[in-house]
């Protein structure tokens, strides 16, 4: 008897790894000569899933974000999971930028994934389940074709494939 196989497409971020990367970035900012006497800092709001970057000027802000990204990459946190807010003035003549972490696939992106899977003409079904997409099919080769198709496409968000059964 044929049994359905399935997998889920999710967009997750390991918050502990983000915290570790932030600690490493703060240590590097404290040790670097070009940041001596600077008011540059990183603040992680874990509940809101936001990182607040504060710097003296635009150049230092870009440098802090570059350091943060390199530490996140080393910790296997996808950089596509970062959504950058607007640069705004802050206290003591500094500037601030809020970087939010994208966790979960939003509705519009999920609809795009489902449409792409249906347009592939493979014998699989895709359905949106809150902030993830489940793909089901009788043939495991079709499921692997879907994974290959999605990996080859460049989406504006990070995605992982889990619960492969």
Q: For 131-148, how does the pLDDT look when each residue is reduced to its tens digit (9 = 90+)? A: 888 989 888 888 888 889
- Residue 121 CA to residue 119 CA, distance in Å, equals 5
CA angle 155, 161, 165 (to 5 degrees): 150
Q: Are 106 and 131 in contact (CB under 8 A)?
A: yes
Buried b (16+ CB within 10 A) or exposed e, 126-161: bebeeebbebebeeeebbebbeeebeeeeeebbbeb
**Upper half-sphere CA count for residue 135 (Cβ side, 13 Å):** 31
**Fold observed for domain 5-12+105-162:** Alpha-Beta Plaits (3.30.70)
Confidence of residue 97 (pLDDT cuts 50, 70, 90): very high
Give the domain 15-101 fold: Alpha-Beta Plaits (3.30.70)
Instruction: Give residue limits of the domains in the chain.
Output: 5-12+105-162, 15-101
pLDDT at 34: 86
Average per-residue pLDDT for the chain: 89
Q: What is the pTM of this model?
A: 0.83
Q: Is 46 helix (H, G, I), strand (E, B) or coil?
A: coil
């Amino acid at each position: 008897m044929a049994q359905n196989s399935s997998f889920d497409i999710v967009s997750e971020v390991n918050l502990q790894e983000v915290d570790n990367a932030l600690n490493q970035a703060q240590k590097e900012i404290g040790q670097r000569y070009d940041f001596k006497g600077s008011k540059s800092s990183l603040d992680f709001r874990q509940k809101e899933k936001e990182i607040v970057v504060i710097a003296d000027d635009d150049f230092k802000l870009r440098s802090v974000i570059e350091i943060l990204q390199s530490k996140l990459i080393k910790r296997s946190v996808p950089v596509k999971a970062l959504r950058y807010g607007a640069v705004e003035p802050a206290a003591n003549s500094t500037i601030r930028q809020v970087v939010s972490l994208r966790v979960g696939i939003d509705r519009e992106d999920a609809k795009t994934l489902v449409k792409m899977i249906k347009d592939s003409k493979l014998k699989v079904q895709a359905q949106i389940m809150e902030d993830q997409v489940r793909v089901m099919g009788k043939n495991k080769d079709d499921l692997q074709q879907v994974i290959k198709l999605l990996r080859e496409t460049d989406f504006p968000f990070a995605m992982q494939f889990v619960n492969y059964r």
